[in-house]
Structure 1
């Protein structure tokens, strides 16, 4: 053991303290010979050049020195650590989605349950305030019907030129053109009456009354469609417009029939004074009803953001005058109607209104033809005896058809009565035309049936006008439709009509019959939203009921 002092110190044990100690390693005694130390660095073999020196690193040197024994450490038995292969490709880019704020889904739209009360009397009683609001316009349109009948010839004054006969229609066109671009308000009635034996005052009266009717026409029908409940919209619209016009026509026919036999060419203007007095009374009643019973459209109030005022309007439009579940249901439906129309641009509203305009303008032209001056001439030529009774029956048949149309428009629907009415009008127009060869006496009898079916079919057009056009352009297109109708009145009144005109009337009614089958939708008991959507296409074959 003489070489123990040359032993190196034991290496520090790695691992746990409880590991067994390493066995001592005996090293041979050092030698100071140069060959006792192996060369450091890579080994050289014969025939091979020395390895190149790596750039940037100094060549390895032999640090062995005399008297120094190199420490040799035993292998510790650790497994070699595996490294992933090196690559110079750029690391893959990982997309990190930005944090998003949670947006809760919109709440579902409330369920709208609009209920139609049972019983005709109950429905009329509950919704009577809606008719009261439109009473002012009813009186205005009644005076308009009187002046229409007067202008087409149901009067006994033979000294009238074409200008005076067309004065009322010209005034109506002026009023409708103004109303198309005015805010949707109900114009007040301008009360005028004719002065005794003064044609200038009579012409002024016709112009002013025509302007009043033209101003009131579009706002009234738009208001009727918006304030009426869905199950009475047709009746309220038809009763306010067509039924009122036909009532005025009937009143003027009675006045003309009463004074026709006792007419004095020189100084008898009593029949025109009577008409002026009735117009004045109706005008005064219209002002009173408009001042006391007018209620703003709930649709207009919703569109202007006055929701609480809309609730109050809906409350007052139905008895018992207290808000209930149906009031809130109507409010929600009006809000959806306004929202759907506010999302439409003006150009889109215009394009959607065109199909309805072409259909309804064609139907209103038939209305002007069916009560034109031609039929007044046919009645006057029929017989000099009992002429008063003939024209009264003629007017009563028209009024009766209009009454039935207003009663069934919400029960039987719009499309069915319209098609049936035009079918009957077509048939009796051709029958009456075929009887002209035997004299006018037999023609008049068939004209009664023609007017009845025409009144039935054309009364439905009031309901269509109140619901067909988009909200943004509704008042404009109602006015345009009315203007087209007035132009037909003027054209027919300025033409010399022939006996074959009845065949033309029959052909036009046949065309309206086909139009009704192919193009008119069924909008009975529908909301304004649904009715408007059904008018966006030209063809509507199914009943949609």
Structure 2
């Protein structure tokens, strides 16, 4: 069967069984090579800018809203996570038909709206609550679109770096929120939440400017059987010296092969072979890496030791962003699996150590024990920051194209549900902190063993090759 016929059938939603497909380009299979241009990075920068106010809003709900002028309720904390879930779930079925640029423009516009509300009425509880729902919706939809889009336009050699931008930008937002709220004083006659809104507006405007330079994924147009526009996207994503008509046509043919291979997979077979459970557990570890209990433990320990929020919170987030930046080139050089699993193991050990400091109620008022908690919490954030970006990389690689948006949305939803459950059930005291930290540490240790044997190494693999590796249950290779 000719491949053009296959693609026409895909466009008519009349796909043949996967086993009947014969690859017309066996000699070039899985050899798509991008030589990225500035436009590739501009296409990703819009999403990266949107995620900065997203990180601020997440930190706001996880305990770092120290100088807000409104009453901090449980709903105010979890509202952003609810909005995130709704945004991700609604974006999943639309991503196939709506251009990525529109998603980014819409997300940036919503971020600006939320920022305006924070800036104009920082003392109004209802307005701030609505702004958090709006921001969460924007970040949820943008995260899903970014993970899909970045994986499709990134070069094989730097896909880890491109996907790293998502968690890195969230971490930068966390740093901004923690630093300015911890160092704010009551002598400043300016609402802290107003500054939150101003920063969100700035990043939202920058994101809108960058969204105009977004290059659509060639796969988007291939799925619509529009070869002309797909070739135009490939031309923009390639450096001029690699953009000869012959080279572009070869890339287009191989992209078509990828589309056919992933679009003709049966839903039943995909679900049976899917690494969904592994990725659900893997992404959920990000939620435990920056959570309300760990933040509360850090704040309480800091107050016991220093009596005020001085330099400790700054070190707390600097180490977090230091861990994230430490993974910048590791994922594409040493590999995703080795770096992330070492980070997960260290995070597990540190969590158990933090829990051990709460085995006695008297330790909470002990300056020595709380100093240990401060140090352990700071180092914990370094390794949590080192681990988090790998989850974005794996999410973008693990699933076939047909189900990728829905599976990624499921993983993102579980991550936010964990935050919501913890926010609604956790009340800081010695016993609760002891049980939480031990539970998280033991869970991470168990999953470390599971991931060592099941997570594949996907460095410098194409998306097709990565998905083949994920369909294999046992993967012991670490580099």
Which TM bucket (shorter chain)? 0.7 to 0.9
Which residue number corresponds to residue 43 of structure 1? none
Which residue number corresponds to residue 202 of structure 1? 128
Partner of 2:157, secondary structure, is: coil
Partner of 2:327, secondary structure, is: helix
Which residue number corresponds to residue 371 of structure 2? 441
Match of 1:254 among 179, 182, 191: 179
Which residue number corresponds to residue 39 of structure 1? none
| 1:383/1:346 CA distance change after superposition, 3 Å | closer
Which residue number corresponds to residue 281 of structure 1? 202
Which residue number corresponds to residue 422 of structure 1? 344
Which residue number corresponds to residue 335 of structure 2? 413
**Cα distance in 2, alignment partners of residues 409 and 153 from structure 1:** 31
Which residue number corresponds to residue 44 of structure 1? none
CA drift of 1:108 comes to 5.9
Q: Which moved more, 1:502-511 or 1:183-192?
A: 183-192
CA drift of 1:431 comes to 2.6
Which residue number corresponds to residue 240 of structure 2? 320
| 1:306/1:282 CA distance change after superposition, 3 Å | same
Matched, 1:111 2:28: yes
CA drift of 1:269 comes to 5.8
Matched, 1:150 2:60: yes
CA drift of 1:235 comes to 0.7
Matched, 1:506 2:436: no
CA drift of 1:422 comes to 1.0
Q: Which runs of 5+ in 1 are unaligned?
A: 1-104, 118-122
CA drift of 1:112 comes to 5.9
Which residue number corresponds to residue 399 of structure 1? 321
Match of 1:160 among 64, 72, 86: 72
Match of 1:349 among 259, 270, 281: 270
Match of 2:470 among 535, 538, 542: 535
Match of 1:333 among 254, 258, 277: 254
Partner of 1:387, secondary structure, is: coil
Match of 1:467 among 386, 397, 404: 397
| 1:165/1:418 CA distance change after superposition, 3 Å | same
Q: Deviations over 1:387-434 (max 9, x none)?
A: 231111111111111111232111111111111111211222223333
CA drift of 1:330 comes to 3.3
**Cα distance in 2, alignment partners of residues 106 and 534 from structure 1:** 20
Partner of 1:409, secondary structure, is: helix
**Cα distance in 2, alignment partners of residues 326 and 389 from structure 1:** 55
Aligned CA RMSD, in angstroms, stands at 2.3
Partner of 1:499, secondary structure, is: helix
Match of 1:431 among 353, 370, 374: 353
Query: What pairs up with 1:228-239 in 2 under 5 angstroms?
Result: 228-239=154-165
| 1:372/1:108 CA distance change after superposition, 3 Å | closer
CA drift of 1:318 comes to 2.9
Matched, 1:477 2:477: no
Partner of 1:388, secondary structure, is: coil
Which residue number corresponds to residue 223 of structure 1? 149
Q: Deviations over 1:264-298 (max 9, x none)?
A: 8xxx662110110110111111111112x111111
- Which structure has more RCO (C-alpha within 8 Å, separation ≥ 6)? 2
CA drift of 1:111 comes to 3.2
Contact 1:196 1:269 in 2 (8 A): no
| 1:433/1:107 CA distance change after superposition, 3 Å | closer
Contact 2:30 2:462 in 1 (8 A): no
Contact 1:352 1:470 in 2 (8 A): no
Partner of 1:231, secondary structure, is: helix
**Cα distance in 1, alignment partners of residues 150 and 23 from structure 2:** 34
Matched, 1:294 2:214: yes
Contact 1:256 1:271 in 2 (8 A): yes
Contact 1:315 1:321 in 2 (8 A): no
| 1:456/1:172 CA distance change after superposition, 3 Å | same
Q: Which moved more, 1:332-341 or 1:466-475?
A: 332-341
Partner of 1:365, secondary structure, is: helix
Partner of 1:511, secondary structure, is: helix
Which residue number corresponds to residue 524 of structure 1? 459
Which residue number corresponds to residue 487 of structure 1? 417
> Would you say how many aligned residue pairs link Structure 1 and Structure 2?
425
TM-score, normalised via structure 1 length: 0.74
**Cα distance in 1, alignment partners of residues 30 and 463 from structure 2:** 15
**Cα distance in 1, alignment partners of residues 24 and 58 from structure 2:** 54
Contact 1:303 1:338 in 2 (8 A): yes
Contact 2:71 2:125 in 1 (8 A): no
Which residue number corresponds to residue 300 of structure 2? 381
**Cα distance in 1, alignment partners of residues 143 and 386 from structure 2:** 20
Q: Which structure has the greater CA radius of gyration?
A: 1
